[in-house]
Chain A
Amino acid sequence: MITMHPSFEMLRPGKKFPTVWCPGCGHGIVQGAIIRAVQKLGIPRDQMVMVSGIGCSSRMPVYVDFNSLHTAHGRAIAFATGVKLHNPKLHVIVITGDGDALAIGGNHFIHAARRNVELTVILLNNNIYGMTGGQYSPTTPIGKRASTAPYGTAERDFDPCALAVAAGAVFAARGTVFGVVELEKMIQQALAKRGFALVEALSPCPTLYGRLNREGNAVKMIQWQKENTINAKAAAKLPPEKTAGKIITGVFHDAEVTPYTEVYQGIIDKAQGQKQ
């Protein structure tokens, strides 16, 4: 018997498939994790808004049957702030990439975290500008090659989770497409959070980052994630030499702070109390 894939009801039918993503790209795996997380939490699609910027990952809103807003490069979080503040009942997910969120959109990223606007920010980190052909991004590790770094980059990379926590985010976690079960749980936690919540999803780009840095095909790049990531809890028990050079995954920060729209409602109440 043929049964419908459980994620199918959340996808938009018709001419939008196949996706723009290359074979072996990790973004579809992240999309699947997001859909399952939303389904498990039982959030009605009509209340879901997916806002994105520009780049490979930012094409996701077209495929998912939510209210969707594909904005301009770097500005997704600023648009999403307007959506959420205008209608706090809406559940707002921001889909963004390493270039979109941390270079052109870096200012909006830190300020939304500082305000603690209730946004679930899924940052699909592939360490490269994919859409434009493989230029280096704020998360390209120093020395790695890109089309604009033919001899390797001279720049240090951002840690998006540390940046978000420093700026005031109430939740920050890093997962991988290799560890998609764990990633889905992180997204579920982030969606349930009231405040600015970041999930950084490490998503390989075999077409550009992988090719330019001779990392092998998609399977090898996902294998690399398995071998080079350590969960934060496990890492805490290991001596430093065992964790050197590894990427730490897991939930780094989970705090309770009154969210922005709730604080603003207090301002409305105060202003209306003073009204003659």
Chain B
Amino acid sequence: MSADIRLLQGNEACAEGAIYAGCDFFGGYPITPSTEVAEEMARLLPRHGGKFIQMEDEIAGIATMLGAGAAGAKAMTATSGPGFSLMMELLGYGCMAEIPAVIVNVQRAGPSTGLPTKGAQADMMQARWGTHGDHPAIALCPSSVAESFSLTVKSFNLAERFRMPVQLMLDEFIGHLREKVTIPAPGELEVYTHPRPSVAPGEYRHFGDGTSVGGAYAAMGTGYRFNITGLTHDPMGFPTGRTDEIRWKMDRLRAKTDDHLPELVDVEREFLDDAEVVLFAYGGGARTAQEAVRLARARGIKAGLLRPRIVWPFPDQTVADALAKAKAMLVVELNQGQLIGEVRRVNQGGTKVVPVLRYDGEIITPDELMTAVEANR
């Protein structure tokens, strides 16, 4: 069989990736520049026996996704800035209720209605802290159409394994970029589905399997009756006011990311071994950074690229290691400076940390980056 090669947009590749991962439910609401994800899911899901529903608003979109997820679906929604803001309350619900799901945010420039058709990376801190209360966060940033496919698959895998909503933080640049993609053959990429419980129904505790990561949990209608609530709850899922049970639940949530950091590091390194000037870039902003590093190397400048694919949890150690060896780290972002705060937090030494930002709806150019590289070499 010949390879399945296609010319796709990032948004279309995201939908194809979701189908590859076994997604069988999509609930959402149309919003530019994410709409192609919903349109593709509307076309593809019923062909695969899955369900697509266009809800009355984004709150309903994430709610119906979480309902399907609680019932046993591999569920997904897609949105952009204003819709992402509307979804924030229920993102926290998904964390508290431990429901696996994937939220795609094709970022556009804000605040408010902002620039609906132009890209940005200005929701990065919202992905981490947008919902109220302490909670874990997992967020991924694809830098190409091929990655839009593969990181969507990875988002579903992480959602299933860590039993929580995972955020795929696309941006308009990658969402609407068209590139050649080779669709992986079935089995070529790992697809993880969480195990179902094997204990007797009387012994089943929906949140009490001892681990919050990689454990078995039941779907509705399979003989394991359980309670799910957004209230702080005990291992059976029943509301509690006991301080020991509250602490158990909060520690269980925190442990999802804090106790599994090594498997949540996914960083691309280019020319980092001898790099003196390191560009830290992600998502759409990393595309021109890749080009800038090549241009700099051609001019004899020891430049390198550090590109996290998983941005939350933040790859502290990887960034710290790169900072320790570099003279300067240029933090490339399509916002007014968000992840640079994380870079500064982990910068223990005297490494210069320089923001290289653009927030006018256009992508930063290799020339702009080269000016910054030259100034900090």
Q: Is the CB of A83 within 8 A of B25?
A: no
Q: Confirm or deny: A158 has a beta carbon within 8 angstroms of a beta carbon on chain B.
A: no
Checking B25, B43, B222 against A86 with a beta-carbon cut-off of 8 angstroms, the contacting residue is B25
State the CA gap A108–B63 with chains docked (Å): 10
Q: Confirm or deny: A68 has a beta carbon within 8 angstroms of a beta carbon on chain B.
A: yes
Residue of A nearest to B221 (CB): A90
Checking A12, A15, A45, A69 against B228 with a beta-carbon cut-off of 8 angstroms, the contacting residue is A69
17 contacts between A and B (CB under 8 A): A67-B226, A69-B227, A72-B63, A78-B59, A81-B55, A82-B27, A82-B63, A82-B66, A82-B69, A85-B25, A85-B53, A107-B60, A108-B63, A264-B46, A270-B46, A271-B43, A272-B46
Residue of B nearest to A52 (CB): B229
Shortest CB–CB separation between residue A29 and chain B, in angstroms?
22
Q: Is the CB of B226 within 8 A of A80?
A: no
CB neighbours (8 Å) of B90 from chain A are 72, 75
CB neighbours (8 Å) of A75 from chain B are 59-60, 63, 90
Chain A contact-residue range equals 35 or more
Q: Which of B37-72 contact A (CB under 8 A)?
A: 43, 46-47, 49, 51, 53, 55-57, 59-60, 63-72
State the CA gap A68–B331 with chains docked (Å): 46
CB neighbours (8 Å) of A62 from chain B are 227, 229, 238-239
Q: Is the CB of B68 within 8 A of A86?
A: yes
State the CA gap A172–B236 with chains docked (Å): 35
Q: Confirm or deny: B220 has a beta carbon within 8 angstroms of a beta carbon on chain A.
A: yes
Q: Is the CB of B89 within 8 A of A72?
A: yes
Q: Given contacts A79-B64, A86-B51, are A71 and B71 in contact (CB under 8 A)?
A: no
Q: Given contacts A271-B47, A275-B47, are A108 and B60 in contact (CB under 8 A)?
A: yes
Checking B57, B221, B229 against A87 with a beta-carbon cut-off of 8 angstroms, the contacting residue is B221
CB neighbours (8 Å) of A69 from chain B are 67, 70, 227-229
Q: Confirm or deny: A173 has a beta carbon within 8 angstroms of a beta carbon on chain B.
A: no
Shortest CB–CB separation between residue B72 and chain A, in angstroms?
7
CB neighbours (8 Å) of A156 from chain B are none
Q: Is the CB of B56 within 8 A of A83?
A: no
Shortest CB–CB separation between residue A99 and chain B, in angstroms?
16
CB neighbours (8 Å) of A67 from chain B are 220-221, 225-226
CB neighbours (8 Å) of B93 from chain A are 71-72
Prevailing SS type, chain A contact patch: helix
Residue-wise, chain A 76-112 has the 8 Å CB interface mask toward B (1 for contact) of 0011111101110110000000000000000110010
State the CA gap A90–B47 with chains docked (Å): 23
CB neighbours (8 Å) of A66 from chain B are 225
Of residues B46, B55, B226, B228, which shows the largest number of chain A Cβ atoms within 10 Å of its Cβ?
A: B46
CB neighbours (8 Å) of B231 from chain A are 70
Q: Confirm or deny: B333 has a beta carbon within 8 angstroms of a beta carbon on chain A.
A: no
State the CA gap A46–B24 with chains docked (Å): 22
Q: Is the CB of B71 within 8 A of A90?
A: yes
State the CA gap A81–B63 with chains docked (Å): 9
Residue of B nearest to A66 (CB): B225
Q: Is the CB of B225 within 8 A of A45?
A: yes
State the CA gap A111–B57 with chains docked (Å): 10
State the CA gap A166–B75 with chains docked (Å): 31
Shortest CB–CB separation between residue A33 and chain B, in angstroms?
21
Q: Confirm or deny: B230 has a beta carbon within 8 angstroms of a beta carbon on chain A.
A: yes
Q: Is the CB of A85 within 8 A of B51?
A: yes
